Amino acid sequence: MKKFFSSLGSFLLKVWKTICANKKTLVGFFIFVFFILIAIFGPMIFPYDPSTHGLNYFEAPSWDHPLGTDEAGRDIFRQLIDGTRDILSIALLTSAIAVTFGTLLGVISGYAGGWLDRIIQIVSNLFLSIPSLPVLLMLSAIFNISNSFFFALTLAAFSWAGLCRAVRSQIMSLKERDFILICKVMNVSKMKIIMTELIPNIASYILINFIVIIRNAIIGSVGIMMLGLADFQPSNWGAMLFRAKANITSIKALSLFLSPAVCIALIQTGSILLSNGLDETLNPKLKKN
């Protein structure tokens, strides 16, 4: 048990060193942590009350309502905080699903080769060639996307294939490398080769892709919400933008429009910085000298 904690400690230290190695990573990391903290603790400190009496709509920012109120008189600031949890959980879930499937299928496809590879490639090509937006429009007409899990699943369906192909090609080049050949000579089992030799070599690549998919999922989910395709969660930033769109002609809706937009831009910047920074630190090819 003691050994476990000491190894965990050294692992965390390594993670921290990686983060500090690059200013971009550090800034991106703190932006992310900031939003995650808001998602977790925000609603406890500033609980959001969706009930409305409709009287004080589009109020200007005040001490009570720091960012003003929306078209139904609800507090925008508290809505924003409430929406953070929703948007982050969808993005994380999407990324987790996409990365799991993408990596798993990519590794199998790249390592096994043969008919298995061909089938996986056909499926992933199919997903890559389907235009996502029209399909999402169609889907939303048929189904009512009513919870975050299905939402994430739909988004993940359109993001795993690219990762799968990239992982496949990485595995294919890695498995011909000398240190894998030597494992075959030493009679190391396939499962062990994959888990202890191949995966650690693409771990940083997968991590970076995890962040990239989070970024895409945020944009994706906001887009879908903004188009009004899924309206189960009115405090979602996309939903806020959707409502701002309806009142876009009025200057009063500016706060309703700007607050989620700025937050989206900020979290996007954070994820770009984080993924680029990690790429520079972890990917030796980009390293100078």
Partner 1 sequence: MANRLLELQKVNVVFSKRGEFMKGDHKFHVLKDVDFHIDEGEIVAVVGESGCGKTTMGKVITGLQAPTSGKVIFQGVDITKAFSNKKEYRNAVQFIQQDSYAALNPVKTIYGSLSTAILAANKKVKRDEMEELMRGYLSDVGLKPAELYLYKYPHQLSGGQRQRILMARALALNPKIIVADEPVSMIDVSLRVSILSLMAKLNKEKKISFVYITHDLATARFIANQGRISVMYLGQIMEEGPVETLISSPEHPYTKALIAAVPIPDPKKSRNSKPIPIRNMKLMSLEHRKDCCPFYDRCPHFHDECLAGDIEYQQKGDVKIKCNLDLDNEGKE
Q: Which amino acid appears at position 130 of this protein?
A: I
Q: Which of residues 128 and 199 has its CB atom nearest to partner 1 in the complex?
A: 199
List 98, 107, 183, 206, residue binding partner 1 (CB under 8 A):
183
Q: Which of residues 203 and 266 has its CB atom nearest to partner 1 in the complex?
A: 203
Q: Which of residues 54 and 200 has its CB atom nearest to partner 1 in the complex?
A: 200
Region 250-289 residues binding partner 1, contact defined as CB under 8 A = none
Q: Which of residues 156 and 282 has its CB atom nearest to partner 1 in the complex?
A: 282
**Binding to partner 1 by residue 185, rule CB under 8 A?**
yes
The DSSP output letter for 286 is G
Q: What are phi and psi for residue 69, nearest 5 degrees? A: -125, 165
Contact characters 124-163, partner 1, x per CB under 8 A: ----------------------------------------
The site that binds partner 1 (CB under 8 A) totals a number of residues, namely: 17
CB 125 within 8 Å of CB 185: no
**Binding to partner 1 by residue 177, rule CB under 8 A?**
yes
Which stretch of DSSP H or E encloses residue 2? helix 2-20
Which stretch of DSSP H or E encloses residue 219? helix 199-226
CB of 70 to partner 1, least distance (A): 50
**Which tokens hold the place of 114?**
């043969």
Q: Which of residues 90 and 174 has its CB atom nearest to partner 1 in the complex?
A: 174
CB 70 within 8 Å of CB 79: yes
**Binding to partner 1 by residue 190, rule CB under 8 A?**
no
Please name every residue paired with 69 in a beta bridge, in sequence order, or none if there are none: 75
**Binding to partner 1 by residue 187, rule CB under 8 A?**
yes
Q: Which of residues 132 and 204 has its CB atom nearest to partner 1 in the complex?
A: 204
Region 191-230 residues binding partner 1, contact defined as CB under 8 A = 192, 196-197, 200-201, 203
**Binding to partner 1 by residue 17, rule CB under 8 A?**
no
**Binding to partner 1 by residue 188, rule CB under 8 A?**
yes
Own/partner contacts of 242-246, CB < 8 Å, gap of 24 or more, are 243/70, 243/71, 246/71
CB 102 within 8 Å of CB 163: yes
Task: Kindly give, in sequence order, each residue whose CB lies less than 8 Å from that of residue 71, ignoring residues fewer than 6 positions away.
Answer: 57, 58, 243, 246, 247, 253, 256
Cα–Cα distances (Å) from 272 to 28, 187, 253, 267, in that order, read: 7, 42, 29, 9
Binding site for partner 1 (CB under 8 A): 177-179, 181-188, 192, 196-197, 200-201, 203
